[in-house]
Amino acid sequence: MELTKEEALREIYNLILNADTRDWECLVLIETKDALETKDNVTPQITSLEEKLRPLALRDNLTGEVADFYLKIVGEPIEEERFDFSKHTIEDYKYQDYAVFGGGCFWCMVEPFETKDGIDSVLSGFTGGHTKYPSYDQVLSGTTGHVEAVEVIFDTRLISYKELVDIYWQLIDPTDDKGQFQDRGYQYRPIIFVRNKQQRQIAEESKQKVISSGRYKQPIITEIQPTSTFWPVENHYQQFYKKNPKRYKRIKRYRQRFLLYQRLKGEIRMRWGKER
């Protein structure tokens, strides 16, 4: 898609003013803006910008709005399904409830819950920290106290909180307090966030069951904490498995292989313990 000079400048101005745009992204955008303001030929400036953004774009490591702009300048369609944040709400307090889980990158925590019967909505975001309105990069730096997490709204007539907790244990390495799988850092540690005494009791009993199973050689470090403000991440990071299916499958495959290996070791350990 070829942009006019006015269209390009308008898009770039908005990105520069966007609080979520990274400093490095701002620098290359400002360079392009300055060049566009002094020269009439748009194509060389946009081509140069595309070349600078390309390495991060290929690794899907641009911030959301900049990633959309990159697709626009290379002529690729923006096929992201827009997450309807207004629908992520409890409408029937008699039969709906919510649960919050931190289990590493939220990219891989959505699909396992969202595809189960009884799940009404799954929202990716941050919780457990001390900074208001944290950005993706702020949380990524590990300085806000937040962890990446998912907030799950579910129909209690179709699925129970206990079943959600059981699913959760199948998705994480409960012995790793330095992150999860390939995601390393304080913001990726596993935590079950409970919103009342009933959820705490279920989570505590479930954790004790995991500890007592003898399946793990290392201590179970998964925390259980009260819920706090949940800050949704922007649309670009919602429902990653739908927007980036190939990359999601690669990440999911890696996690599944690790967990399968861990479970096999656990089964051998448990069987050996019984025989002795």
- Give CA–CA dist 81/249, Å, rounded: 18
Burial of 276 (0-12, 13-18, 19+ CB in 10 A): exposed
- Quick one: which of 9, 15, 74, 16 has its CA closest to 39? 9
Active-site residue numbers?
105
Left (φ > 0), alpha (ψ -120 to 50) or beta: where does 239 sit? Answer: left
